[in-house]
Amino acid sequence: MLRSDRAAIAGGQRGSRAQGDAVARNDAAAGSRAAIAQISPRPDADNAALSPAPRTDLFENPQLASMAARALTYLNAGIPVHLRGPAGTGKTTMAMQLAARLGRPVVLLTGDDGLTAAHLVGREIGTKSRQVVDRYVHSVRRVETETSSMWCDAVLAQAVVEGLTFVYDEFTRSPPQANNPLLSVVEERILIFPAGSRKERLVHAHPEFRAILTSNPEEYAGVSRPQDALLDRLITFDLDDYDRETEIGIVSNRTGLAYAEAGVIVDLVRGVRRWPKAHHPPSMRSAIMIARIVARELITPSVDDPRFVRLCLDVLAAKAKPTDRDDRDRFAATLLRLMNNHCPAGAIDGG
């Protein structure tokens, strides 16, 4: 193959700017004139890899440090790690922090019910045609057309080939069949491409390829049950049982609120979380939200500050998703009772 052919084809495969350019050559030896043109390729941007630096502004205590150290040990051994927990428990933060500490570029995918295996593995992005017009004999015109497909790797394939860290956030939002390519990757470290799609049908993962997955087992809409076969191949950490001190540390770290004030808010949110009728138990994110406004507006987190009571009702009342008026009133009364318990008058300002 001539160099100009190779250049045109390589450009086409990566969806580069060379697409659509016509490359002409004179083949003097054969006495023919050939034109090589690429027809109708669809430009496709490369999947951008991130290079996150480990964050130094995150809260860490022995519980979080131990979890992170164990997760890194397993990842370094090539075993994928799965962080599971309800919304707002810090799954994405920890996934990105682990990825940053692995020190490799990161590609990120967020699960979605519209995802297919192609979003992980790749897809055909067009066709490439090569036309040879032969006019060796003046009166005879021979045209040969050869068409082949062009392929573009998606995030999982890119990570497997280049040895990147693949972070798959909320992977259970994708239909199970979309996640099938992961099975052979996490077990045998082999990625299999659809037949006839790509030059190499089977790729062995680069030694530095790593995978970190997150999921929320409590999401009730648009979530698939993860396949047992996939779960079996991951080491799962449950992030739903942070102890009180860890939650207070994170809330205080995120908002700048003093430990004691953050403690009052965390206790209230944990109290509401345990309330059996809370259909959507408030997460640590609710505590961060309340604490952020308390810090910004200089509100006293106690039941004798009407602004605090109003703020807590606004942030937390909808979490119970009451079905009727009666329920809603009862929940407001429960919230006030919890506030009296956890945020009593004078608890903060030493009054």
Ligand X SMILES: Nc1ncnc2c1ncn2[C@@H]1O[C@H](COP(=O)(O)OP(=O)(O)OP(=O)(O)O)[C@@H](O)[C@H]1O
> Alpha carbon of 35 to those of 20, 27, 129, 295: distances in Å?
13, 10, 11, 69
The nearest distance, CB 91 to ligand X, in angstroms, is: 4
Q: Does residue number 163 form part of the binding site for ligand X (CB under 6 A)?
A: no
Pseudo-torsion of CA 233, 119, 48, 59, nearest 10°? -40
Residue 50: φ, ψ to 5°: -100, 155
The nearest distance, CB 83 to ligand X, in angstroms, is: 8
- Output 59 or 275, the one with its CB closest to ligand X: 59
Q: Does residue number 87 form part of the binding site for ligand X (CB under 6 A)?
A: yes
Residue window 38-67: x/- pattern of binding to ligand X, with contact defined by CB under 6 A: --------------------xx----x---
Q: How far apart are CA 338 and CA 311, in angstroms?
A: 14
Q: Does residue number 213 form part of the binding site for ligand X (CB under 6 A)?
A: no
Q: Taking CB under 6 A as the criterion, which residues in 267-286 touch ligand X?
A: 284-285
Q: Does residue number 34 form part of the binding site for ligand X (CB under 6 A)?
A: no
The pair of three-digit structure tokens given for residue 39, joined into one six-digit string? 């027809």
- Output 110 or 334, the one with its CB closest to ligand X: 110
Q: Does residue number 206 form part of the binding site for ligand X (CB under 6 A)?
A: no
- Output 115 or 117, the one with its CB closest to ligand X: 115
Q: How far apart are CA 58 and CA 56, in angstroms?
A: 6
Interacting stretch for ligand X, rule CB under 6 A, among 7-15, 247-255, 256-264, 341-349? 247-255
Interacting stretch for ligand X, rule CB under 6 A, among 85-93, 109-117, 138-146, 316-324? 85-93
- C-alpha Rg value of the chain to the nearest Å: 28
- Output 227 or 253, the one with its CB closest to ligand X: 253
Among 254, 270, 319, 342, binds ligand X (CB under 6 A): 254
The nearest distance, CB 170 to ligand X, in angstroms, is: 7
- Output 13 or 165, the one with its CB closest to ligand X: 165
The nearest distance, CB 173 to ligand X, in angstroms, is: 10
Among 19, 38, 47, 89, binds ligand X (CB under 6 A): 89
Residue 346 Ramachandran class (φ > 0 left, ψ -120 to 50 alpha, else beta): left
Q: Does residue number 216 form part of the binding site for ligand X (CB under 6 A)?
A: yes
CA 257 to chain centre: 29
Q: Does residue number 100 form part of the binding site for ligand X (CB under 6 A)?
A: no
Please say whether the beta carbons of 173 and 113 come within 8 A. yes
> Alpha carbon of 49 to those of 25, 44, 109, 161, 165: distances in Å?
37, 15, 11, 13, 9
Q: For the packed helices 91-102 and 62-76, what is the interaxial angle rounded to 10 degrees?
A: 50
SS3 string of 10-57?
Answer: HHHHCCCCCCCCEEEEEECCCCEEEEEECCCCCCCCCCCCECCCCCCC
- Interface residues with ligand X (CB under 6 A)? 58-59, 64, 85, 87-93, 216, 250, 253-254, 284-285, 288
